[in-house]
Amino acid sequence: LTKFGFQGMTKKDYKAEALDYIEKIIADAKNEINEIDVSKDVKDEAIMELDKAEASATIEINSSTSKAEIDAAIDSANRTIDMQISNVTAEYYRQLDEAKASASAEVQAKAEAAKAEINEFDVTDYYKDSAKSNIDNAVTEAKAAIASATSKDLINDAKDEAIDKIKIEVERIRPTS
């Protein structure tokens, strides 16, 4: 732990500090992972790997005969932490991209269905074209907002807002018979 700031300690104290350090860095990593907006199973898998790393490091530290072995156990735990946080972060971006594609497709599908419905209305082409143009604008705005969204909540907000605008346009020109 010399590189971790525990210089001049006895091996026994060094082990105790190393065990405390491992416990702290694993707990911090778990907290960081739990803050990432990914599915529960992704978080659970990463946390399981962190638990294994903590158990392994604890065994290695307790059975160590030198400070170098303790340092190696800490290095191994840090590599596992870095790898798990990296994996969860990568999965977050994958899921975010998937959510963006799904939301854009849903908005586009709702818009196409709404325009088809509008084409069946017994109203002038002027009103039909106006409503379809407003729907196209809502889709364009939504796709831009979805593309720049940094969370699933923002994606859903943009999608829901567009769908509401589409519904409003359909209802605005729906004949009242």
Tell me the pLDDT tens digit for each residue of 115-136: 999 999 999 999 999 999 999 9
Check pLDDT > 70 for residue 2.
no
Of 131, 141, 129, which is closest to residue 171 (Cα–Cα)?
Answer: 131
**Residue in the block written with tokens 């082990």:** 15
pLDDT digits (tens, 9 = 90+) for 84-110: 999 999 999 999 999 999 999 999 999
At residue 47, the pLDDT reads 97
Check pLDDT > 70 for residue 7.
no
Contact 165, 120 (CB under 8 A): no
pTM: 0.77
At residue 176, the pLDDT reads 84
At residue 50, the pLDDT reads 97
71: CB partners within 8 A, 6+ apart = 1, 2, 3, 4
At residue 12, the pLDDT reads 81
Q: Please state, rounded to an integer, the average pLDDT across all residues of the chain.
A: 93
Per-residue pLDDT, averaged over 10-25, amounts to: 90
The mean-pLDDT minimum among 52-61, 69-78, 155-164, 168-177 falls in 168-177
**Residue in the block written with tokens 């039909």:** 128
Q: Which two tokens stand for residue 131?
A: 């409503």
Check pLDDT > 50 for residue 147.
yes
Contact 172, 156 (CB under 8 A): no
At residue 98, the pLDDT reads 96
Contact 15, 61 (CB under 8 A): yes
CA distances from 43 to 29, 87, 92 (A): 11, 10, 10
Contact 141, 107 (CB under 8 A): no
Residue type, 161: E
